[in-house]
Amino acid sequence: MRRGWTAAVAVSLAGLLAVTACGGGGGEQGGDGKQAATKVEVFSWWTGGGEAKGLEAMVADFKKKQPGIEFVNAAVAGGSGTQAKAVLASRLQANQPPDSFQGHAGAELLGYIKAGQLEPLNSFYDEQKLREAFPQQLIEQITYQGNIYSVPVNIHRSNVLWYSPAVLKEAGLSGAPKTIEEFIAALKTVKEKTKKIPLSLGAQWTADHLLESVLLGTLGVDAYNALWTANADWSGPQVTKALENFKTILGYTQQEAASTDWQVAAKNVVDGKAAFNIMGDWAAGYFKELGKQPKQDYDWAASPGTDGVYMWLSDSFTLPKNAPHRAAAVEWLKICASKEGQDLFNPAKGSIPARKDADRSLYKDYLAWALEQWSTNKLAGSMWHGVTVNDRWHTEIDTAVGLFLGSRDVPKLQQALAAAAKNSGQ
């Protein structure tokens, strides 16, 4: 029985905005009153290594099937959408939506839905026979008041420990650490025995990303999942322990310019400059693009303390209300939803398909491992990548972590996280 898709997005009947089932207005009108599908503007944050390649694979499929529609790539750079989401918010605010945008399944998507910014896709799901194509619990994460609002293209794993076999060998370590305690000991050994970076870190959001793995690795899956439910206890000793672990682990990272994104931090591992990096499996897509060899240039394991748990997230594409080229957006969503589109996109992106009927033979090395883990692991939702917290909570966690990177004050961080949970209104 799969657990941990999180109740955060469960359909709640209280205080709901009425979301109508009718389509958006505007758009180009052809002579027959129907929209002419001339171009489609697709918004994402996939501009960097691995990510852009995945998008390109799906765009190539789109261009082949829709040669008459110009594809406008409106991607805004910045890992995990840090910049893109701000740009998107102002466009939506100004009622200038792109034709389709990337959003994470879960609490993040619910924000757009509650704000009335998305069209329901129920009839699209019926026409494309999608209700059976995706796991039921994933559909629940994109459903509100009985309406489905996006098309998931993948499942990513957040809790992956990437490591350099060469650096571990140099440090005299025999394999990946399995617990947080072993991890801290291994970081210390790397520091003492080599000149390499023990744990490679990038921009601030990569510390937020690290935090969710340390919380999961310290608390275990049930207590981690309970953090994102109403009245969660953020003040207890176990959370204190997790935050102390976070502080200790951060002590083994290098200083990076705030502008250094996840690619640089991950590349340090495959270049043999760092022993470890905790990053989502989009790193697998990037390593593939770099031509690096799995099990030689890099290896992987569940992040310490999280073996048997898949901390999942899912990228999905939406149909915003008032999409200027609605008909073309629907054609884009068809590619996103299709088995062919997903099997082109995911091997390059470093994710497994959201569809249940993908061609498993296309998923090799790390991705073969991920597919197997996905079918056997317990589930936890990613905090940083949109599953468990709404925008407000997300921002407050980021602010608290940002201050902590300067102060390293655990009690202050814990207080701020407890307050963020209370303030979230989720």
Task: Enumerate binding residues for ligand GAL (CB under 6 A).
Answer: 45-46, 51, 79-81, 104, 156, 262, 280, 282, 313, 315, 385
Between 52 and 173, CB nearer to ligand GAL: 52
- Give SS3 for 367: helix
Min separation Cβ 263 and ligand GAL, Å: 9
Between 80 and 150, CB nearer to ligand GAL: 80
Between 168 and 387, CB nearer to ligand GAL: 387
Min separation Cβ 32 and ligand GAL, Å: 38
- With a CB cutoff of 8 Å and minimum separation 6, the contacts of 333 are 100, 121, 124, 151, 317, 319
Min separation Cβ 175 and ligand GAL, Å: 27
Between 97 and 280, CB nearer to ligand GAL: 280
Min separation Cβ 313 and ligand GAL, Å: 5
Contact 150, 142 (CB under 8 A): yes
Min separation Cβ 261 and ligand GAL, Å: 8
- Give SS3 for 152: strand
- With a CB cutoff of 8 Å and minimum separation 6, the contacts of 409 are none
State both tokens at 60.
């190539």
Between 187 and 216, CB nearer to ligand GAL: 216
Min separation Cβ 326 and ligand GAL, Å: 25
Between 110 and 184, CB nearer to ligand GAL: 110
CA distance 266 to 162: 8
CA distance 48 to 82: 13
Between 252 and 282, CB nearer to ligand GAL: 282
- With a CB cutoff of 8 Å and minimum separation 6, the contacts of 345 are 54, 55, 57, 58, 153, 154, 351
What single letter denotes the amino acid at residue 305? Answer: G
> What count of other Cβ atoms lies within 10 Å of the Cβ of residue 47?
17
Between 262 and 276, CB nearer to ligand GAL: 262
- What do you get for the CA distance between the two ends of the chain, in Å? 26
Sequential DSSP letters for 227-254 = TTSTT---SSHHHHHHHHHHHHHHTTBP
Between 280 and 341, CB nearer to ligand GAL: 280
| Distance from the Cα of residue 32 to its chain's centroid | 41
Min separation Cβ 187 and ligand GAL, Å: 24
Q: What burial class does residue 141 get, using C-beta atoms within 10 Å of its C-beta: 0-12 exposed, 13-18 middle, 19+ buried?
A: buried
Min separation Cβ 228 and ligand GAL, Å: 17
Residue (of 245, 248, 273, 279) closest to 261 by Cα position: 279
Min separation Cβ 104 and ligand GAL, Å: 6
- With a CB cutoff of 8 Å and minimum separation 6, the contacts of 74 are 41, 42, 43, 44, 98
State both tokens at 208.
């937020």
Min separation Cβ 207 and ligand GAL, Å: 14
Between 79 and 98, CB nearer to ligand GAL: 79
